[in-house]
Amino acid sequence: MASLTLLCLPYSGASAMVFSRWRRKLPAWIDVRPVELPGRGARLAEPLRTDLAALARQLAAEQRLAASQPYAILGHSLGALLAFELAHELQALGCPAPRALFACGTAAPSRREGYDGPEWREPKSDAELIRELRELQGTPEEVLANEELMALTLPVLRADFLLCGRYVYRQRPLLRCPLHVFGGEDDRASQEQLLAWRQETQGDFSLEVFPGGHFFIHEHEDRVLGVLAAALEPLRLSA
């Protein structure tokens, strides 16, 4: 029986169901719970959001019950920023702190300068979005060339880039949980930008760097999940 819920927040342009296969790969005591964002997947009919703080407040209200039981939060890229804000919003609602926060594939909230450039604050054109996807090397060329798929994906990606580009870091009381950061050797975030996550918690901190680029969580999935499970294992008996 699962004894710890793992809330998983997706990266830009993705449905949270990118994490669904983790249910088969992680130990049964970890309840992998993908958190779908408005405007995609099962929430396709809902409007896309471009205000990350407002979205975090909405998700906190929705996940309040889940946070009444032992839980951890994980996010990749945009999802990592959202996971950080969600942890703060749940704390503001009086929920227990997460047992752990996993921030993958992005610079720390206080080190966004030079990471999300000023051009991210305005909507990007289709051509710019496709160029960005190509640079991130996570989307096959046949998908980029599929006009139907791109017509569905690009509006989501455009909104998600605005979530990042318009993000404003706010100083608040430190989180009260362990914070584990995962990075890719060839990703955009520098060592300094990854280590700066340490300043966001009074709990333990760790940094693990994996081979690969921005999508190392898929390229080296088994290794990532091994490190994730090992970090959560000490919490199993206390959950």
Higher confidence at residue 147 or residue 73? 73
In 3D space, the residue among 80, 103, 110 whose CA is nearest the CA of residue 178 turns out to be: 103
Mean pLDDT, rounded, for 46-62: 97
How confident is residue 237, by pLDDT bands cut at 50, 70 and 90?
low
Q: Encode pLDDT of 199-224 as tens digits.
A: 999 999 999 999 999 999 999 999 99
pTM of the complete model: 0.92
List Cα–Cα distances, 223 to 10, 69, 80, 209, in angstroms.
Answer: 19, 27, 19, 11
How confident is residue 116, by pLDDT bands cut at 50, 70 and 90?
low
Where does the chain show beta strands of DSSP type E? 4-9, 30-34, 71-76, 101-104, 179-184, 205-210
> CB 211: neighbour CB atoms within 10 A?
11
Residue 80 included in any domain: yes
Q: So which residues are the catalytic ones? A: 77
- Domain encompassing residue 197: 4-113+170-236
Domain count for the chain: 1
pLDDT score, position 148: 80
Distance (Å, whole) CA 129 – CA 61 = 31
Task: Tell me the CATH number at 94.
Answer: 3.40.50.1820
**What average pLDDT is seen over the chain?**
91
How confident is residue 149, by pLDDT bands cut at 50, 70 and 90?
confident
